[in-house]
Amino acid sequence: MNEQDGQDKQDGRGRQERADAVDREMAARLLPDAVVRALGRWWETNAAAYADRTPGAHTVRYTPSRWAQITPWPKALAPTSADGDAAVSRAEVAAAVADALQREAFREALAATYVWGKGKRGTPGGSGPATLHKILAHDGLDATLATAVTALHEHGAPQAYAALQRQVPGLGPAFFTKFLYFTGLALEPVHGIRPLILDRVLARRLRQIAAAVGRESGHDADGSIAAWVWSDSNWTPHRYQVYLSFMHAAADQLAAHEGWPSGAAPDLLECALFTTRWETSNSLIVSE
């Protein structure tokens, strides 16, 4: 599967073969030592907050009044008439999504994940509330979300991703993977490995690792393949599958290290990667 549409077929085959080679190297090497050390420092700092070894306590602040135009408004969130800021955790969003899905209130479930994902960046008339308002008004949104939920339950996360890709104007993968992630927590069982959030920050983390692997292995000396497949947006279902496979394997890798909690779920790794940084030098990952 090509990562990008509309490219010359022969050139596309060559690039895809190099991308596949980098993917195989990443799957074999997983997280570099410097990244493992950085994640260990993150856990040392955050162990008390995530004592249950899940990112359920990961809390986002938002301003309810800025979302006054949004309906349906999730009951788990503070009323839009409230003054000041409010906070909502992953665990609270997960509970709200589970409740909404039981009632087939798909738009309400999406709204809860979107507000959590946007947080304080949501401003009246801005890209947060205004975009969500347009998304919720889209004809066929409920049917599209229902199709994705069914695909996740019966076929798996990449198929659910494909069911949402380019289906709703304004709803890109950085936000619909949040919907899939929280839906995956609510569904029992999910076919295959559970979905995780993939956004620009996480893609850039994977891009750093891919660039280092590509340089060291000779498959991507200049980092162009890493920049192509781990772009800032518009990832293919194939790329999402690669991401999930890597993250679940990396979580198993970390479980063997004393500096990481045993039995921690892959979404704790996702949460840590979102807030962890490490230095790079000429595409090589180095100790801080």
The pLDDT tens digits for 77-129 are 999 999 999 999 999 999 999 999 999 999 999 999 999 999 987 555 557 99
Q: Where are the domains of the chain?
A: 9-51+198-286, 59-186
Token pair in block for residue 12: 């596309």
* Residue at 209: amino acid letter: I
CA 106/CA 112 separation, integer angstroms = 10
Residue 180 CB neighbour total at 10 angstroms: 27
pLDDT band at 190 (very low <50, low <70, confident <90, very high): confident
Give 132's Cβ-side CA count (13 Å radius): 32
- Which residues face 281 on adjacent strands? 284
> Regarding predicted confidence, which is higher, 31 or 3?
31
Whether the predicted model's global pTM rises above the 0.75 cut? yes
* Residue at 201: amino acid letter: V
CA 253/CA 264 separation, integer angstroms = 11
Q: Report the pLDDT value the prediction gives residue 270, as an integer from 0 to 100.
A: 98
Token pair in block for residue 244: 């999930």
CA 191/CA 104 separation, integer angstroms = 20
